[in-house]
Structures are given as structure tokens and as C-alpha cells.
Amino acid sequence: MNLSKLTIAEARRALDAKEYSALELTDAYLTAIAEKNPEIHAYLEVWENTAREEAKKADEMISRGESRPLTGIPIAVKDNILIEGRIASAGSKMLEKYTATYNATVITKLKEQGAVFLGRTNMDEFALGGSTENSAYGPTKNPHDISRVPGGTSGGSAAAVAAGMALVALGSDTGGSIRQPSAYCGVAGLKPTYGVVSRFGLIAAASSLDQIGAIGKTVGDAQLLFNGVRGYDKNDSTSLPDSTEIKSGKRPLRIGVPRDLFASRLDTDSSARFEKTLNSLRKKGYEIKDIKLFSDPQIPLAVYYIINPAEVSTNLARFDGIRYGLSVTAPSIQEVYSKTRGTGFGPETRRRILVGTFVLSSGYADAYYRKALAVRETIKADFARAFSAGGGSSFGGESVDAIVTPTTPGPAFKFGEKSDPLEMYLEDIFTVPVNIAGVPALSVPMGTVARDGKDLPVGFQIIGAHGSEEILFSIGNDIEQV
């Protein structure tokens, strides 16, 4: 088996045909991890023994003729998704020794199907960042150039898939954390519609923006993993009914390009890759048209960096040295709080808590937080207008089936290159509007650009209306063919 080319469909065929066993497949991945992980540092922990046991169970399911789409498929899991009895640290010292007491719903679903869990992958602390440099356990390296970041926050998951250390991986995306690392590592990553995949058992960053999603070498792999974890869950109060899905019936599809959102921010060679990809879609019969999406392209990022810190500061209030994780002993309760939080959280996490506490504080909440919530509604309305039949005046009365942009302004950057937090935040400018509106988006590779003699992948982002994942997969498949 060639792990650098293997897809779920091919593994499924070979496993069911008994060309190799799930145990052999798992062992092949464990060997690849032992070889490559010391350099790439995609995994924080590898679960050799339980992975082998799970693989043996999968082999029994296959022998009994009970194989399901993900039976025996080796999967990497981001370190913020709970597996009962396993440490889930969210890339933080605060939760270094925290052991999950229950399974996330996505894990329960994958266990029922006989999937194999290889280990937990590195991430920016509490899913805050864009490079994995904010992990308390050291960064992950980009398999295409180890002097560069893999992206973040699901950098470990994307690097594991890109380096052939996992067949597919689960990540989470609050403002781009599946799509941006997928683009930088040259793999496919889906951020599903908000509410379509359960967040039960996902360590919360910003609850109204967070979604668990799938990273695979191909669009088909991301789709299979997504199908394996999606579905209504009574344990998640924001979970959507299963009927939300929109089928891709009508052809040809019309695609909108909001150039004013990205034109001025794009590297010239990334821009050329983007135009080439657009052209290939045009040749396949898609109708491509320029649209104006937002009145001001800066607005979504500003809204995001108020709502995200506000929700982060609230969610992370529970890490107080008493209830979970790290506890630093001190003479007074006040000092237990301050010493635990001062040592347990890294600099970016503390920055978000401070900003979030400020924008929520009395006297400022109206000017910042509530204003951001109001503007959030206009961003949702902008997307709704673009996707709704009839459209708006800026669409010439016509709606679009999908909106496309580059996933990021350029390829992966070097370690330390974006030490100014605002520069790092600008990497998210094309991805955050999606989370603000709760719509789905898929990043697919659109070739490479050269930097310092290395070919670095860049990504093409396809955004759809709520529940339109199938449309995104079908466009993504068309791009993959060229």
C-alpha cells in the first residue's frame, strides 16, 4: 500500500477484498508516524496499543460482513475533541493532565463504525491562532517545507494527513482552522454548516463559531469522514435537524467571485493559480460572475475579533484552578485563580481573554460586543442575499450557488514571520466571514507556488448556503480532476 496516495475508497475496497487487514493498515500508519513524527511533530500522543485493538475489532467486523464506510480507517483526532479515558489538552498546559470522562458525539459515531484512532494532533492553544506556534507543546512543521508553519489551529491534523501519517483527520474550525492549514499543507478540508456536526465533546473556543470538520487528501475523503460524523444530536442544543441538507440538482451552477474581498491582498502567483482554477471551472460549464458581497471587506474580520474573544473569555472562565485541569496552590483563592490562569494560559490565550473581557464589560459592551452582534446580522444577510433566489441588486437580480475565494492570501509562512498578532489575524480575512454566517466552506488544493526553491500548496475556497455541502463537494471534485 502506498500511504502517500491511499484514499478511503481504495482502503475500503482493499480491506473488504481482504488484500490487507485493518491491523496491517494501522501498523503501516504507526510505522510512518514513528518515522516522520519526530521531525513534523503532528501528533502530541500516539495510541499504538488501542489503535491495534480497534483495528482487530474492525477486522472482525469486516469478516462478519458488517463493514461500514469507515470500518478500519485510521484517523487522527485534534487535541480538543474528547475521547473517554484519553487526555485532551487543547494544546494547553492548563489541560496537560486532563482526561476526558466521556466521548464526543463524533467519536461515538466513529467508534460505532469501527474506525481506528491513531492519536491526538497538535493545535494552537484552545484553537486560537493560525500557525500552531501557539501550542504549549511546540509547533508542528509543514511537511512541504519544515522551515514553515503548517497553518493552524488544526495544523497537526492537516500535517498528519499531508505527510501520510493518517488517512484522514478531524479538526475544528472557528474562523478558518480547518481550511487554512488544509490550504498550507495541500489537502482538502471542510468546515461544515454550523449545527450539522455535533459540538458535544469539543472543547469550546467560541461556541457560536466553532464546528468540527474533516481533513482528507482528497475531497472524497473529507466527504466520507464528514458523512460519518454528521447528524442531529440531542446533546448539542445548536444541532440542526437532518433535513437541512440541500441537494445539488440544477446545472450549470453559477459561481460568484467577490474580488473586492481579496484582490488587493493576494500574492501575484497565488492570484494566478486562483484565476487558472476559475478558468478550468468555466471550461467545465460553470457560469462565473463577479459579485459584491460586503459593503466593506474589512468588516467581517473586525466583527470576528470582537465576538471570538468575547466568547473565548466566557468559555475559558471555567479554567480557574478549581474545576478542571491545572491548579497552582496559593494562600488565597484569588491567588489560586490568578496564578493558575497566569501560568496555565499562553500569551495569545491571555490576550483574547483580556480583549474579550473588555468588549463585554459594562460601559463597553454596547459599543463593541452588541455592535458586533448587530453587524454580524448584516453579514449573514449579505450571504443570504447572494444565495437566495431573486438575489439582490448587487447580483443583478441573480443568486449564486457558491462563492469562491482563495483560502488564504498566500502560501505557508515561516516560523516567527507573523509575530505581530494583527498580522496573524489578517491571514483569516477570507475564512472568518464563513463562520460568522454559519455557512459551510471547503478548501481544495489549487496547485503550488514557489518560495525559496520549494513548491508550496495554495488553496481554493468554495463557500455555499447553509446545508449545501454536496454542492461544495461536487465543485471540489471538478477542481480536483484538473
Establish if 221 lies at the interface with ligand GLN (CB under 6 A).
no
Q: Based on the shown chain and the rule CB under 6 A, indicate whether residue 271 belongs to the binding site for ligand GLN.
A: no
Count of residues of this chain found to bind ligand GLN when the rule CB under 6 A is applied: 13
* 150 touches ligand GLN (CB under 6 A): no
d(CA 121, CA 80): 9
Q: How far is the CB of 464 from ligand GLN (least distance, A)?
A: 18
Residues 308-327 that bind ligand GLN (CB under 6 A): 308
Considering only 127-135, 236-244, 279-287, 373-381, which stretch makes contact with ligand GLN by CB under 6 A? 127-135
Report 381-440 residues binding ligand GLN (CB under 6 A).
428
Q: Segment near ligand GLN (CB under 6 A), from 123-131, 258-266, 330-338, 378-386?
A: 123-131
Per the CB < 8 A criterion, the answer to whether 29 and 166 are in contact is: yes
For ligand GLN, give the closer residue by CB, 129 or 139.
129
Q: Of these, 115, 160, 188, 205, which contacts ligand GLN (CB under 6 A)?
A: 205
Smallest separation (angstroms) from ligand GLN to the CB of 305: 8
Residue 136 lies near ligand GLN (rule: CB under 6 A): no
The span from the CA of 175 to the CA of 179, in Å, is: 9
Using rule CB under 6 A, residue 213 touches ligand GLN: no
| Shorter beta-carbon distance to ligand GLN: residue 130 or 258 | 130
Return d(Cα 435, Cα 172) in angstroms, integer. 11
Least distance (Å) from ligand GLN to the CB of residue 175?
Answer: 3
What residues between 162 and 201 interact with ligand GLN by CB under 6 A?
Answer: 173-177
Question: CB under 6 A: which stretch of 12-20, 69-77, 121-129, 288-296 binds ligand GLN?
Answer: 121-129
Of 72, 119, 129, 411, the residue at the interface with ligand GLN (CB under 6 A) is 129
Report the distance separating Cα 70 and Cα 58, nearest Å: 9
Candidate list 26, 113, 122, 153; residue touching ligand GLN; CB under 6 A = 153
Least separation in angstroms between residue 274's CB and ligand GLN is 21
CB of 210 to ligand GLN, least distance (A): 7
- Give the residue with the Cβ less far from ligand GLN, 428 or 478: 428
List the one residue from 8, 25, 83, 127 that touches ligand GLN (CB under 6 A).
127
Is 149 or 446 the residue whose CB approaches ligand GLN more closely? 149
Angle between helices 105-112 and 219-229 (to 10 degrees): 100
Q: Which stretch binds ligand GLN (CB under 6 A): 128-136, 227-235, 268-276, 387-395?
A: 128-136
Within 13 Å, how many C-alpha atoms sit on residue 135's CB side?
30
113 vs 349, beta carbon nearer ligand GLN: 349
For ligand GLN, give the closer residue by CB, 307 or 456.
307
| Cβ nearer to ligand GLN, comparing 124 with 320 | 124
The yes or no reply on residue 140 touching ligand GLN (CB under 6 A) is no
* 263, burial (CB in 10 Å: exposed 0-12, middle 13-18, buried 19+): exposed
Closest residue to ligand GLN, Cβ-based? 177
Q: How far apart are CA 26 and CA 15, in angstroms?
A: 11
Q: Which is nearer to ligand GLN, 175 or 410 (CB)?
A: 175
Residues in contact with ligand GLN by the rule CB under 6 A: 127-130, 153, 173-177, 205, 308, 428
